[in-house]
Chain A
Amino acid sequence: MNRDEAQERVREVQRIMERTTLYTLLPGTPAVVGGLLALAGCVVTLLMIRSLDFQDMLGLSENGQVAFCGMWVLVGIVAVTQEILWARRAAKKQGISPTARPARFATLSLSPSLIVAVVLSLKFLHQQQPRYIVPAWIMCYGTGLYAAGLFSVRLPRVLGLAFIVTGAVGLLWFAEYGVVLAALSFGVLHLAFGAAILARTRRETVT
């Protein structure tokens, strides 16, 4: 074996170790919890604006609009925090550092698109076009997931693509149904993803 072959082997080992680390940290339960939180947010949205269109949040009083935005920020913070806590717990259980390189890769992959989503949201709010915030977030989140999934197994990439498609279709044709889009993507897709992971961990049949 020469130096090049040895280097290739080392890289191969590193890739598999990183993949395994991310795989073992794939969050099943937190995805389900995140999905339920998103659905709860959609219900509260419906109660607050009595419409499927996020544009109608402009009909709320100034305080109402702040409360509306605050509610969604809170949903996001709680969803992300519980995911981090679950991932840390899973990492500890598996004897893996929660700040291991693959976890950092995943965070770094997600961050840019989430920053883009925040900037777009501010712009849409400033232009009195909150209708487009939901599809923008769906697509940005999907892009981040897809990028993060490049360091993991296929499932997160599939979820990322599903988000991108849902967001794109929503933006182009169904932007006035923001509540439905949010429920379908952040709610149902997360629930399906979480259920798929939970099923995978339980379905360990021998051949």
Chain B
Amino acid sequence: MSIQPDKIDAVIHERVRLAIVSALSVAPELSFNELRTMLSLSDGNLSAHARTLEDAGYLDIRKSFAGRRPRTTMRLTRKGRAAFRNYLDTLRKIVEHGGET
């Protein structure tokens, strides 16, 4: 069985973005700092990839204040969760059927 290249979601397929989405798939919401620490990313790297995910409609980024401190939290949107599920399904198909893209 062959998996078409267009079946692989390029937005999620990138390693850092896949890590962000994977982490957010098991936590309803994570802060910018939590994600940065957990995934050992630089501020700029996380910001850039989070923005790409947000532009694709996969990530909901909320900025608020906790007292005087700015706070950024991220969560997967419904579209993001569906895209992640589809991506995992595609991976599973490749693993099970040995398909190539």
Contact residues of A with B, CB < 8 Å? 1-3, 6-7, 9-10, 12-13, 16-17, 19-21, 23-24, 94-96, 153, 200-207
- 19 A-B contacts (beta carbon < 8 Å): A10-B91, A12-B15, A12-B22, A13-B18, A13-B22, A16-B22, A17-B23, A20-B22, A20-B26, A24-B30, A94-B28, A203-B69, A204-B31, A204-B69, A205-B33, A206-B63, A206-B70, A206-B71, A206-B72
Q: Which of A12, A20, A200, A203 has the most chain B CB atoms closer than 10 A to its own CB?
A: A20
* A24 surroundings in chain B (CB, below 8 A): 26-27, 30
Interface flag for B47 (CB, 8 Å) = yes
- Give how many B residues have a beta carbon under 8 Å from the other chain's beta carbons: 38
Could you tell me if B38 and A23 are in contact, using CB atoms closer than 8 angstroms? yes
Could you tell me if B33 and A204 are in contact, using CB atoms closer than 8 angstroms? yes
Q: Nearest-CB distance from B62 to chain A (Å)? A: 11
* A200 surroundings in chain B (CB, below 8 A): 33-34, 37
Could you tell me if B28 and A95 are in contact, using CB atoms closer than 8 angstroms? yes
Chain B residues 36 to 76 lying within 8 A of chain A, measured CB to CB, are 37-39, 43, 47, 63, 66, 69-73
Q: Which of B47, B69, B70, B94 has the most chain A CB atoms closer than 10 A to its own CB?
A: B94
Could you tell me if B88 and A205 are in contact, using CB atoms closer than 8 angstroms? no
Could you tell me if B32 and A20 are in contact, using CB atoms closer than 8 angstroms? no
Contact residues of B with A, CB < 8 Å? 3, 8, 15, 18-19, 22-28, 30-34, 37-39, 43, 47, 63, 66, 69-73, 88, 91-92, 94-95, 98-101
Could you tell me if B72 and A13 are in contact, using CB atoms closer than 8 angstroms? no
Could you tell me if B94 and A204 are in contact, using CB atoms closer than 8 angstroms? no
Taking A16-B19, A206-B63 as known contacts, 11 extra A-B pairs with beta carbons closer than 8 A to each other, sorted by chain A number, are A3-B95, A3-B100, A13-B18, A13-B91, A16-B39, A20-B22, A21-B26, A23-B34, A23-B38, A153-B37, A204-B71
Residue ID in chain B nearest A95 by CB atoms: B28
* B70 surroundings in chain A (CB, below 8 A): 205-206
Q: Nearest-CB distance from B98 to chain A (Å)? A: 5
Q: Nearest-CB distance from B17 to chain A (Å)? A: 12
Interface SS, A side = helix
Q: Nearest-CB distance from A9 to chain B (Å)? A: 6
Provide the bound-state CA to CA distance between A24 and B30, in Å: 9
Provide the bound-state CA to CA distance between A12 and B8, in Å: 16
Partner of B95, one of A7, A19, A95: A7
Q: Which of B15, B38, B47 has the most chain A CB atoms closer than 10 A to its own CB?
A: B38
Q: Nearest-CB distance from A20 to chain B (Å)? A: 4
Residue ID in chain B nearest A102 by CB atoms: B26
Could you tell me if B71 and A1 are in contact, using CB atoms closer than 8 angstroms? no
Could you tell me if A19 and B18 are in contact, using CB atoms closer than 8 angstroms? no
Partner of A2, one of B23, B33, B88, B94: B94
Residue ID in chain B nearest A94 by CB atoms: B27
Residue ID in chain B nearest A154 by CB atoms: B37
